[in-house]
Amino acid sequence: MDVPNEVIEYLANKIDSNARELEGAIITIQGHANLQGRSIDMKLVQEALRVPVAGSKHSQVTLQHIIDAVTEYYNVKLSDLQSRRRHKSVTEPRQICMWLARKRTRFSLEEIGGYFGGRDHTTVMHSIRTVDAKSKKDPQYAKQVEHLDEQISLGTSAPIA
């Protein structure tokens, strides 16, 4: 990936909390660049890492918060969620991530799909429908999804006791 020095400096100054957040930002930027067919520059980086408007219902939740909560809860890696694997142990958490991303962030279907391994917007729509349908049929599943959603809203990712 070809990244200008000014972008590297910007990321180094903006993200200083942990490597996971930095990795998430880089993957998000790469997804935006691939999706839009653009090279990486400061304008693309700022668009990709846009901060939601303060006070909106999405203001505190980032895609990285969602990823952190879901990967911890289901004990999967970010790389698994972005892979082409279709095993239930990976697809279910990936679908929930997509559902939560759509519900809690301002990202478009295309942007969400791009973040999860370059998937098409129709795959994201399918994931959202799948989570909705399974939540209606399976109360335990609905409870898990609701718990994750609450934990993300509160900024924590503790498992159900």
Tell the burial category of 137 from Cβ atoms under 10 Å away from its Cβ (0-12, 13-18, 19+).
Answer: exposed
Question: Residue 93 has what pLDDT?
Answer: 96
Quick check: helix, strand or coil at residue 143?
helix
More confident: 2 or 58? 2
Q: What backbone phi and psi angles, to 5 degrees, belong to 116?
A: -95, 60
Q: Which of 9-23, 50-64, 86-100, 110-124 has the lowest mean pLDDT?
A: 50-64
Measure the CA–CA gap between 159 and 161, rounded to whole angstroms.
Answer: 6
pLDDT in tens, 38-84: 899 998 888 887 644 333 344 457 888 899 899 999 999 999 898 88
Given a contact cutoff of 8 angstroms between Cβ atoms, the answer to whether 113 and 123 are in contact is yes
- Residue 75 one-letter amino acid: N
What DSSP state is assigned to residue 77? -
Measure the CA–CA gap between 40 and 94, rounded to whole angstroms.
Answer: 26
pLDDT higher than threshold 90 for residue 16: no
Given a contact cutoff of 8 angstroms between Cβ atoms, the answer to whether 155 and 65 are in contact is yes
Quick check: helix, strand or coil at residue 96?
helix
Q: What backbone phi and psi angles, to 5 degrees, belong to 29?
A: -60, -45
Task: Provide the Cα torsion 35, 32, 108, 97; round to 10°.
Answer: 110
